[in-house]
């Protein structure tokens, strides 16, 4: 599956304090990714911070250049 932007699912995951979200129809587990700001590679979550029960901060790490970076929720992909 190719990563896609779905702000509704991203906001749901952040509000629930979860980095994955199950599709009730298929059972597929969506997870979050972001494009590296240096080379555009899809990157996974390296660090997270919670505030109460929700996620307040995500840091992604590029698998190619090891760049640590943050993006706004609108720039987070799911796959």
Mean pLDDT of 34-51: 98
pLDDT over 90 at 59, yes or no = yes
Q: Are 24 and 30 in contact (CB under 8 A)?
A: no
> What percentage of residues in the chain have a pLDDT greater than 90?
97
What is the token pair recorded at 62? 């590029």
pTM above 0.85, yes or no: yes
What is the token pair recorded at 17? 């304090």
Mean pLDDT of 61-73: 98
- pLDDT class of 9 with cuts at 50, 70, 90: very high
């Amino acid at each position: 599956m190719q990563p896609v932007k779905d702000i509704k699912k991203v906001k749901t995951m952040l509000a629930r304090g979860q980095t994955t979200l199950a599709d009730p129809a298929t059972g597929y587990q969506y997870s979050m990714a972001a494009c590296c700001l240096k080379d555009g590679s899809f990157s996974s979550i390296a660090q997270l911070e919670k505030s109460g029960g929700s996620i307040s901060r995500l840091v992604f790490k590029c698998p190619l250049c090891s760049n640590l970076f943050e993006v706004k929720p609108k720039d987070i992909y799911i796959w």
